[in-house]
Homo-oligomer: A and B are copies of this chain.
Amino acid sequence: MISEKVKQSFIRIVGSENYDDSKAGRLVYSYDATPQFQSLPDAVIAPRNTKEVSEIVKICNEHRIPLVPRGSGTNLCAGTCPIEGGVVLVFKHMNKILEIDEENLTVTVQPGVITQDLIKAVEEKGLFYPPDPSSMKISTIGGNINENSGGLRGLKYGVTRDYVMALEVVLANGDIIRTGGKLAKDVAGYDLTRLFVGSEGTLGVITEATLKLIPMPETKKTMLALYQDLEAAARSVSKIIANKIIPTTLEFLDQPTLAVVEDYARIGLPTNVKAVLLIEQDGPYEVVERDMKKMAEICQEEQAVSVQIARSEAEADALRTARRSALSALARLKPTTILEDATVPRSEIAKMVKAINEIAEKYNVKICTFGHAGDGNLHPTCPTDVRDREEIERVEKAFEEIFAKAIELGGTITGEHGVGAMKAPYLEWKLGKEGIEAMKAIKQALDPNGIMNPGKIFAKSERKRVVVTR
C-alpha cells in the first residue's frame, strides 16, 4: 500500500501526469506475456531521467515498497508481474538513442528504446547489433538486458550479455553507479556489468546502457532443410558444428509447429514433414557460399528429404519472419499458451526432442517444439486452457519432467527466458542449495530490504507453480 503522503512525494518527483494509480492503469500493468500470473501494482510511475529514478527508489527503500522495472512486458517468466504489488516503473520517457559512436563501435541508449528501432538505427551506419529476441519488434533494450535475451542469431553471435559494455544503474539505496565503459578490456574490480545483465530487475534499475556493435556482415543466405525423421535433423545440427561451421542461425521446427506457423503466415512452408531446419549464414560472400554448400551436403547426407536455398532476400525474410511468429501462431490454437525454454548442450538435442515427445504422450498433452537447435535451446510449447484445471495440472507435471530431463542431460531450466516468478521453484534443480544460497547472499547484499522486484528468481516455498492473485 502507498500512503497518501508517499503518493504526494512520488508526484512531486515525476509530476501527476506520470503517476497513475487508477484501477485501469494498474490493470494494464498487472500482467506480462506469461500466462497464469496476474497481480495488481499499487501505482505505475514513469520517471523522466535517472535522477528521478534514484529519488523514487529512495522512497521505495525507505517505505519498503516493492519496485518492478518494466519494458514492454514481453518476457515469458512472469519477470515483470508485480506479484507483491508496489510500484511498476515504466520507461516511456527514457527511450532515446543517446549516441552511436562509429569510432568505438558502440551505441548508448536509455532502457526504453525498442530493440528493433536500435537495430535499424545502427544498420543505417553499416553497423550490426546481433541480439534478436523474437519479441524484438516490441521488446525494449532495458527488458532485454534485464532478461539477458537471446534470439535466432545467438549461435554465432551470442546473447545480450555479450554486447553490454557499460551500464548506469540505480541501486536499492538510490546510489547511481556506472559500470564498465567503451572499453574492449576492463578488469577494474568485479564484473558488475554482467552481474546486472540477466538479474531481472532484482539488483537495481538500469537507466542507461552502452552496447557493443560489430561491422555489418557483407551478405547473408538462408536455407530450409526438410526431414521425415526428427533425429536426422538433430544429427545434422551436430554434424554441422563438428565440421567447424558456425552458422548464424540453426533453427528447428517440428511438424505440429510447422503446420500452425504455415496456417498463420501462409508462405508455403511444407507441413507434411516431421521437422525443418532453418539455417542461415552471414559474412563475406565467398565464405557464405562455401558454408551453405557444405551445410547442404551435410543435411543431404543425413537424409534430409529436401534442401532449398532461399532464392531472394524477400523469401529469406519471409522464412525468418515465419519462424519469429511461432509463438503468435501457436497462441491462436488455444486460450492459453505455455512456452518453455529448457536448454541442453547441443550434443543432447536429439535426446531432448525425443524425451519431450515421450513426456507429452505420457501426460496426454499437446506439445509443439521449435527453437534454437544450434544453441541446444528448445521451446517446447503447450497450447492449453487455464480454466481446465485438470489439464493444466498434467501440463505442469509434463513441464516439470522436461526441466528435470534437461538438467539430467547437463542442461538448464531456462536458456533465454529467465527465471522470474514462474521458474523460481525449479532453480534449485540447476544450482543446488549452495548455488541458491550464494545468489541470495548477493541479492541481500545489494538489496537488503528486498524491494527490487521481489518474488522473482528466488522461490518463496515449494515447487509448484501457482496462479497468483491479490
Contacts and interface: CB of A to CB of B under 8 A. Distances in A.
A344 to B, nearest CB: 8
A413 B186 CA distance: 8
Interface in A170-195: 171, 175-179, 181-192, 194-195
Interface string A143-174: 00001101000110001011000000001000
Q: How large is the interface on A (under 10, 10 to 19, 20 to 34, 35 or more residues)?
A: 35 or more
A435 B179 contact: yes
Interface stretch (A221-229, A317-325, A356-364, A439-447): A439-447
Interface in A203-260: 203, 214-216, 238, 241-242, 244-246
Nearest to A159: B185
A377 interface: yes
Interface in A68-120: 101-105
Interface stretch (A22-30, A31-39, A308-316, A426-434): A426-434
A15 interface: no
A457 interface: yes
Nearest to A287: B284
A131 to B, nearest CB: 11
B176 A347 contact: no
Contact of A438 (B159, B177, B375): B177
Contacts of A427: 188-189
Interface string A409-427: 0111111111100010001
A376 interface: yes
A61 interface: no
B432 A183 contact: no
B126 A244 contact: yes
Contacts of A444: 445
A282 to B, nearest CB: 13
A198 interface: yes
A103 B161 contact: no
Given A103-B238, A242-B103, A287-B284, A185 B375 contact: yes
A190 B181 contact: no
Contacts of A377: 184-185
A369 interface: no
Interface string A328-365: 00000000000000011111000000000000000000
B435 A446 contact: no
A446 B435 CA distance: 11
Contact of A435 (B126, B189, B431, B436): B189
A124 interface: no
27 contacts: A103-B347, A148-B187, A150-B185, A154-B184, A154-B185, A161-B194, A175-B438, A178-B432, A183-B343, A183-B376, A184-B372, A185-B372, A185-B375, A185-B376, A186-B343, A186-B414, A187-B419, A188-B413, A188-B430, A189-B435, A190-B203, A190-B442, A191-B197, A191-B198, A216-B244, A283-B287, A442-B442
Given A126-B244, A286-B287, 20 more contacts: A103-B238, A104-B345, A147-B187, A150-B185, A176-B434, A178-B435, A181-B345, A183-B343, A184-B343, A184-B375, A185-B372, A186-B412, A186-B415, A187-B417, A188-B414, A188-B430, A189-B435, A190-B195, A194-B195, A286-B286
Q: Nearest 6 pairs between A and B by C-beta?
A: A215-B244, A185-B415, A445-B445, A184-B375, A441-B445, A103-B347
Interface of A: 101-105, 126, 147-148, 150, 154-155, 159, 161-162, 171, 175-179, 181-192, 194-195, 197-199, 203, 214-216, 238, 241-242, 244-246, 283-284, 286-287, 290, 343-347, 372, 374-377, 410-419, 423, 427, 430-432, 434-439, 441-446, 457
